[in-house]
């Protein structure tokens, strides 16, 4: 029996990971801030799939929250075999319109928490000679897209570099880079989505299925949809200023929906 720990499990892509990994028979450790929602999700997954489900309430924008998840990942008596670093969010506004405290909160969740959780998990996995970590970034990592894209670019660089350093240890690291996916993300960030064409939207369950298939193939980078693979190929050819204009506008209308 293997155990998967998923951060940001209660909604969107994290919730799709929890459904899929529960259906596959993994024991689950679910992490988010909303305890009531975590408990409801745990009961549902346990009843549906008969798997063990633990809940861990933690705010990954705080030292105490990160410490709690690091401690769980370091528990050698209840090892975690697969870590999904998925928790994340967008801030409401463009650069300089967002309060510095919110910018720093994003770096804490997207970078510091991902670094500390990946390290805690990888150390324990290396001792056992097996395990996997999936860090959820975004295609925004590859185009000019504010501080959100910059934080996701850090996740891509960090994960691919660490994956190389851990090659041969039995620990597999992969960064998953979805495009626009229907979740609570945009509403939470106060982003209008009216200017995102329908064909650009992905389904969270399909993102997860493609990501896990890439992990099984041993990839260190997963772009979980052919449409976005093509778009990123074209983006490499486009002049940088034009790319910046297009990508920083699409899906970044803030204000009342």
Ligand X SMILES: NC(=O)c1ccc[n+]([C@@H]2O[C@H](COP(=O)([O-])OP(=O)(O)OC[C@H]3O[C@@H](n4cnc5c(N)ncnc54)[C@H](OP(=O)(O)O)[C@@H]3O)[C@@H](O)[C@H]2O)c1
| 12 is a contact residue toward ligand X (CB under 6 A) | yes
Whose CA is closest to 159, among 180, 183, 135, 125? Answer: 135
Distance in Å from the first CA to the final CA of the chain? 45
The verdict on 118 binding ligand X (CB under 6 A) reads no
- Residue 148 annotated in active site: yes
Query: Among residues 183, 220, 222, 247, which is the contact residue for ligand X, using CB under 6 A?
Result: 183
Integer Cα distance of 67 and 83 in angstroms: 15
The neighbour count for residue 114, using CB atoms within 10 Å, is 29
Cβ distance to ligand X smaller for residue 128 or 229? 229
User: Is 14 a binder of ligand X (CB under 6 A)?
Assistant: yes
Q: Which two tokens stand for residue 7?
A: 């951060």
Which position among 3, 41, 181, 220 is part of the footprint of ligand X (CB under 6 A)?
181
Q: Does 10 bind ligand X (CB under 6 A)?
A: yes
Beta pairing, strands 131-136 & 27-32: unpaired
Stretch binding ligand X (CB under 6 A), from 8-16, 45-53, 94-102, 118-126: 8-16
By CB under 6 A, the count of residues binding ligand X is 30
The site string for ligand X over 65-94 (x = CB under 6 A, - otherwise) reads ---------------------xxxx-----
The position carrying tokens 């890439």 is: 214
Closer to ligand X by CB, 39 or 130: give it: 39
H/E run at residue 149: helix 146-165
Q: How far is the CB of 23 from ligand X (least distance, A)?
A: 18
Closer of 111 and 169 to ligand X (Cβ): 111
| Spatial distance between the Cα atoms of 54 and 32, rounded to a whole number of angstroms | 12
Q: How far is the CB of 91 from ligand X (least distance, A)?
A: 11
Nearer to ligand X, 172 or 186 (CB): 186
Nearest to 89 by CA among 32, 173, 159, 20: 32
Interaction with ligand X in 17-46: which residues (CB under 6 A)? 32-34, 37
CB 83 within 8 A of CB 117: yes
Among 13, 156, 210, 212, binds ligand X (CB under 6 A): 13
Q: For residue 49, what is the DSSP state?
A: H
Q: Under a CB-based contact definition with an 8 Å cutoff, are residues 57 and 38 in contact?
A: yes
Q: Which residues are catalytic?
A: 148
């Amino acid at each position: 029996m293997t155990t998967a720990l998923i951060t940001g499990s209660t909604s969107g892509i994290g919730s799709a990971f929890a459904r899929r990994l529960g259906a596959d028979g993994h024991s689950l450790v679910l992490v988010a801030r909303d305890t009531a929602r975590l408990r409801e999700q745990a009961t549902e997954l346990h009843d549906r799939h008969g798997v063990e489900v633990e809940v861990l309430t933690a705010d990954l924008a705080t030292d105490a929250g990160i410490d709690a998840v690091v401690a769980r990942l370091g528990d050698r008596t209840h090892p975690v075999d697969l870590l999904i670093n998925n928790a994340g969010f967008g801030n409401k506004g463009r650069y300089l319109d967002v309060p510095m405290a919110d910018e720093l909160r994003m770096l804490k969740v997207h970078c510091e928490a991902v670094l500390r959780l990946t390290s805690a998990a990888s150390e324990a996995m290396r001792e056992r000679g097996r395990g996997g970590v999936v860090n959820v970034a975004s295609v925004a990592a590859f185009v000019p897209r504010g501080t959100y894209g910059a934080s996701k670019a850090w996740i891509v660089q960090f994960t691919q570099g660490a994956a190389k350093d851990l090659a041969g240890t039995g620990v597999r690291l992969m960064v998953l880079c979805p495009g626009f996916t229907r979740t609570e993300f945009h509403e939470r960030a106060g982003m209008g989505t009216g200017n995102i064409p329908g064909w650009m939207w992905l389904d969270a369950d399909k993102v997860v299925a493609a990501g896990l298939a890439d992990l099984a193939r041993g990839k260190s980078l997963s772009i979980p949809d052919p449409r976005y693979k093509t778009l990123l190929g074209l983006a490499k050819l486009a002049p940088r200023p034009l790319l910046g204009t297009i990508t920083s506008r699409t899906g970044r209308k803030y204000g009342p929906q």
